[in-house]
Amino acid sequence: MPPSHQQQQDDLFERAVQTHSRRLLAIARGIVGNRASPEDVVQQALMNLYQHRDRYDWREPGGLMRRSVVNEALRILRQPRMTAVADDQPATGGAAAQSPVDGMIDQETVAQVRKAIDQLPDHFRAALILCEYEQMSYVEISQVLDVTVAQVKTWLHRGRRQLAERLKDYMDSRR
C-alpha cells in the first residue's frame, strides 16, 4: 500500500528540517543575537510551519523556511525584553589564529561586531544578516522580509552606515 498524502507531506517536512536546520539556526542567531534563544526561534517557526504543512509545497522549502524563521525572529524582537540570554556560542573565525594574541584580537573584533549588529534596528539587522551572512540577493531578501527591493537597498545602506559608525572608535583604537 503506497504512503498516504499526509505521510508524504510529513516525510518531506522532516527531510526539509534535517536539510535546512543548521542554516535556519544561523539566521536566527544572526537576527536575535543574545536577546533571545535562536533555538527557540527556529523551533517556533518550524512548529508553525508543521501545523500548516498541508498548505505548502515541501519539494523546495528553503525560502519558505527562511522567511518563517526571519518573521519569528522579528516577532520576538518586537516583544518587550524580559531577560538577556548569554551568548553560549564560541566566537570562531574562518582561519586559525597565528598566535594566542591574534586569537584574542580576532575574538574581540568578533565580539565588537556582534555588539554593533545587536544595536542596529531590527529591520536593518535582518537585511544585513540575510545579505552578508546568507549571501541572499536583494530580490530574495525583499521576498523574505516582504518589502520592496528599493527598501532592502535602503535598509542595507543605512545599516552598513550605522554599523561603520558604531565600529569607528574601536577600529581607530586598533591602529
What would the pLDDT profile of 89-109 be if each residue is shown by its tens digit? Answer: 444 444 444 555 555 556 777
What's the rounded Cα separation, in Å, for the pair 81 and 64? Answer: 27
Confidence of residue 85 (pLDDT cuts 50, 70, 90): very low
- According to the model, what pLDDT value does residue 148 have? 94
What's the rounded Cα separation, in Å, for the pair 85 and 73? Answer: 14
Say which residues have a Cβ less than 8 Å from residue 39's Cβ, sequence separation at least 6: 25, 28
3-class SS at 61? coil
**Domains delineated in the chain:** 1-81 (1.10.1740), 99-175 (1.10.10.10)
Q: What is the DSSP letter of 157?
A: H
CB of 110 closer than 8 Å to CB of 170: no
E-strand spans in the chain? Answer: none
149-173 vs 138-145: helix crossing angle, rounded to 10 = 100
Buried b (16+ CB within 10 A) or exposed e, 116-141: bbbebebbbbbbbbbbeebebebebb
How far, rounded to the nearest angstrom, does the alpha carbon of residue 159 sit from its chain's CA centroid? Answer: 15
How far, rounded to the nearest angstrom, does the alpha carbon of residue 168 sit from its chain's CA centroid? Answer: 24
Residues 25-69 have pLDDT tens digits of 999 988 888 777 889 999 999 999 988 888 888 888 888 899 899
Rounded to an integer, the average pLDDT of 4-15 is 84
- Look up the pTM and report it: 0.60
Query: What is the SS3 assignment for 95-131?
Result: CCCCCHHHHHHHHHHHHHHHHHHHCCCHHHHHHHHHH
